Amino acid sequence: MVIDPKRIREKMVREQIEGRGIKDQEVITAMLSVPRHLFVDEALQSQAYADHPLPIGYGQTISQPYIVALMSSLLDVKPGMKVLEIGTGSGYQAAVLAEMGADVFSVERVKPLYQRARKLFSQLGYHYIKTKLDDGTMGWPQKSPFDRILVTAGGPDVPTPLVDQLSDPGILIIPVGDSKRSQKLIKITKNDGSVEREDMGSVAFVDLVGKFGW
Average model confidence (pLDDT) for the chain? 96
Query: Average of pLDDT values for 178-207?
Result: 92
For residues 148 and 168, what is the distance between their CA atoms, to the nearest angstrom?
A: 10
Query: Average of pLDDT values for 149-166?
Result: 97
Find the catalytic residue in 33, 46, 63, 202. Answer: 63
What is the structure's pLDDT at 22? Answer: 97
Global pTM reads 0.95
Q: In the chain, what are the domain boundaries? A: 5-203
Percent of the chain with pLDDT over 90: 94
63 is catalytic: yes
Q: Is the pLDDT of residue 3 over 80?
A: no
The dotted CATH code for 5-203 is 3.40.50.150
Tens digits of per-residue pLDDT, 124-145?
999 999 999 999 999 999 999 9
Tens digits of per-residue pLDDT, 73-125?
999 999 999 999 999 999 999 999 999 999 999 999 999 999 999 999 999 99
What is the structure's pLDDT at 1? Answer: 58
